[in-house]
Amino acid sequence: MLKSVCLVGAVLMFASPALAETCGSAPIAPAIPGASAVAGKPGEEATKIKHDAFVQVKDYQGRLKPFRECLIKQTSDVKAEAENGKDDSAKKAAQAKMADLQKAYDKTVDDETKTVQEYVALQTAVCKIIDCTPKK
């Protein structure tokens, strides 16, 4: 996971220097414990592990928001450049930048989805240990 995030960051820095300068690096997804981390643990300890993972996921999502907003703004700026471009080479360069920005955005969505799925798997494991049914 960390390797792929670092690789994407490196690719983005070389593929689009303006992206690296303006938006910085994409937030790194937290390592969510697997079901084995709560196996055999008492309910309180398993609940604490789940809660800590929840806090990490929310923090990660909070750090993703401004990064994505930056990518969207840059995409809008580049799109305006492309529309105002006089020659084909400027338009092609702008289209390539927009494709890089879209890839970076899509990567954040993929990483967030994976992180949330890992959290849901952890939550499911914890609910096998304790009763997670909402109280009425």
Please give the share of the chain, as a percent, with pLDDT higher than 70. 85
Does 113 have pLDDT greater than 70?
yes
Domain boundaries, the chain: 41-129
pTM: predicted TM-score of the whole model, two decimal places? 0.78
pLDDT digits (tens, 9 = 90+) for 28-53: 999 999 999 999 999 999 999 999 99
pLDDT of residue 111: 97
Average pLDDT over all residues of the chain: 85
Contacts 24+ apart (CB under 8 A), 4-10: 5/29, 5/111, 8/104, 8/107
